[in-house]
Structure 1
Amino acid sequence: MTDHRPLHGYSDIAAVGALLADATRARMMVGLADGRALPASVLAAEAGVAASTASEHLTRLVEGGLLSVQRSGRHRYYRIANAQVGAAIEALAVLAPTRPVRSLRESTRAAALRRARSCYDHLAGRLGVEVTEALLERSALTRVDGVTGTQRAHGDPMSAPLPQHPYRLGPNAASVFGELGVDLDAARGQRRPLLRFCVDWSEQRHHLSGALGAAVLTRMESAGWVDRPGTRRTLRVTDRGALVLDRVLGVDLPG
């Protein structure tokens, strides 16, 4: 009997690499790495190109499956296609050479990005790792592989989502997340996994992602505990947020 099922070869990584090899498209992808949707005009300005040029690049990214597009009125809004693409962009940061810092302003922005940022839709940077560590210390999360805290285990990648993670909700999950104002039941009701973890590219330690990680960041932004003072991806802990994080989790404002 003849098998008419299609044959599938290796993943064509080169096709994705070609899309990201262009500096303009790469800047657009980084500009969207916080998970928000932006119009083409804003992306053109961030990439420093004309609107017509931006449109050509955005079309290629959409056709390549890296971005999705939605029309609203006269404008088209672009966003990262899914969490896997967002995680891939974050992971590539550890492999990419660091761009030379040519000014004090660029140096300040780079330090702020390492200190606290969004990784697609959850906390990353030093703040993201410290919050995850605090959740472990307060038994809102439990690690079950014998490794201490948020340290990378042997064999973990340098920067990437963990396909299999060694964490579970801890005995104090309901009380700790409840004190933060995070609805565990609502997070459980999402179609995506409740718990996921990434190896943070700047800290080389684990931070919380998944539906619960997204719920934590959403709560922190809606409560005014963090804001985005500069680039959309950089986060800043507000004075009010510093008090809450210190009281509930014992997390100090990252310096």
Structure 2
Amino acid sequence: MPNPSISATAFLIADQSRAAMLITLLDGRALPAGDLARASGITPQTASSHLAKLLEGGLISVETEGRHRYYRLADSHVAQTLEHLAAIQPEATARPEALTSQHRQLCFCRRCYDHLAGQVGVEVTRALQNLDYIRSASDKQFIVTAAGAEWFGNIGVNVASLKPTRRGFARQCLDWTERVHHLAGPLGVRFMATLCAKGWLRRSRSSRAIIVTPKGSNALKKQLGVDIAELKLSRNS
């Protein structure tokens, strides 16, 4: 017997305008209805109707500041669901269309709600595993080794101070463009925030794109052996 919750959620996400709103909110920002209406190409009145349905369905939440209302994804579970759905694609039967520069940047390095994703996120996670700083565990989790805890501490991430959620401490999140896992969970969130604070990464103000700074390129190569220039060449080849 079908699960009514799954059916209702699928119905909400299936609408093109609502899906566009949800994707716009994937970077973790809270946005007003007007911005979401423009992002989805619909009128403010129609956007309000869609937002009411998404609120009722538990996919988004709203914050009120004075006379203004700001909408965001309900939580990281919604973001992960959207990322996973984006990874489901039919087998290509025709030559794929050329990617836009913005799409290429998102594929290369982006935010997956609140942690690092894209080719850079995957390569950083792979490097952490190769150096035995983290290890794959059951139930889609990573465990942090003693050497890993020391390394994270050296860059400013106090592993012992992080509290696991009910979904774990260091989670494996399937990357929708790379089709392999990157680091998520409380550790992934603090890790990306620390790299941004150190000036290794910079958040885009207009999209989910993450820019690796020259300082970050040098540091990632020195610390983890991740060569950003080489990754860019392989992406463009």
Instruction: Give the shorter-chain TM-score range.
Output: 0.7 to 0.9
Query: Aligned-pair distance for 1:188?
Result: 3.1
Work out whether 1:216 is the aligned partner of 2:191: yes
Work out whether 1:31 is the aligned partner of 2:24: yes
Task: Give, in whole Å, the separation in 2 of the partners of 1:11 and 1:244.
Answer: 49
Query: Aligned-pair distance for 1:189?
Result: 6.5
| Match among 67, 87, 111 for residue 118 of structure 1 | 111
Say if 1:138 and 1:176, in contact at 8 Å, map to a contact too.
Answer: no
Deviates further, 132-141 or 210-219: 132-141
Please give the TM-score of this superposition, normalised by the length of structure 2: 0.86
Question: Hey, what does 1:86 align to over in structure 2?
Answer: 79
Question: Hey, what does 1:228 align to over in structure 2?
Answer: 203
Task: Give, in whole Å, the separation in 1 of the partners of 2:84 and 2:164.
Answer: 28
Q: Secondary structure at the match of 1:76?
A: strand
Aligned-partner residue type, residue 243 of structure 1: N
Unpaired stretches in structure 1, ≥5 consecutive residues: 1-7, 146-163
Task: Give, in whole Å, the separation in 2 of the partners of 1:13 and 1:59.
Answer: 19
Q: Secondary structure at the match of 2:100?
A: helix
| Match among 39, 52, 57 for residue 64 of structure 1 | 57
Please give the TM-score of this superposition, normalised by the length of structure 1: 0.80
Task: Give, in whole Å, the separation in 2 of the partners of 1:46 and 1:62.
Answer: 18
Say if 1:139 and 1:172, in contact at 8 Å, map to a contact too.
Answer: yes
Task: Give, in whole Å, the separation in 2 of the partners of 1:166 and 1:209.
Answer: 9
Q: Secondary structure at the match of 2:143?
A: strand
Say if 2:141 and 2:172, in contact at 8 Å, map to a contact too.
Answer: no
**Percent sequence identity over aligned pairs:** 40
Task: Give, in whole Å, the separation in 2 of the partners of 1:180 and 1:199.
Answer: 25
Question: Runs ≥4 in structure 1, deviation > 4 angstroms?
Answer: 189-192
Task: Give, in whole Å, the separation in 2 of the partners of 1:236 and 1:229.
Answer: 7
Work out whether 1:131 is the aligned partner of 2:124: yes
Task: Give, in whole Å, the separation in 1 of the partners of 2:103 and 2:81.
Answer: 20
Task: Give, in whole Å, the separation in 2 of the partners of 1:227 and 1:43.
Answer: 24
| Match among 3, 8, 11 for residue 10 of structure 1 | 3
Q: Secondary structure at the match of 1:70?
A: strand
Residues 144 and 210 (structure 1), Cα distance of their counterparts in 2 relative to 1, 3 Å cut: closer
Query: Aligned-pair distance for 1:246?
Result: 1.4
Aligned-partner residue type, residue 162 of structure 2: A
Unpaired stretches in structure 2, ≥5 consecutive residues: 233-237
Say if 1:180 and 1:248, in contact at 8 Å, map to a contact too.
Answer: no
Residues 249 and 67 (structure 1), Cα distance of their counterparts in 2 relative to 1, 3 Å cut: same
Task: Give, in whole Å, the separation in 1 of the partners of 2:80 and 2:164.
Answer: 22
- In angstroms, what is the RMSD of aligned CA positions? 2.5
Aligned-partner residue type, residue 68 of structure 1: S
Work out whether 1:182 is the aligned partner of 2:175: no
Q: Secondary structure at the match of 1:95?
A: coil
Structure with the bigger percentage of helix: 2
Query: Aligned-pair distance for 1:166?
Result: 5.5
Query: Aligned-pair distance for 1:183?
Result: 2.1
Task: Give, in whole Å, the separation in 1 of the partners of 2:193 and 2:146.
Answer: 23
Work out whether 1:239 is the aligned partner of 2:214: yes
Query: Aligned-pair distance for 1:229?
Result: 3.5
Query: Aligned-pair distance for 1:26?
Result: 0.5
Q: Secondary structure at the match of 1:55?
A: helix
| Match among 77, 80, 93 for residue 70 of structure 2 | 77
Question: Hey, what does 1:197 align to over in structure 2?
Answer: 172
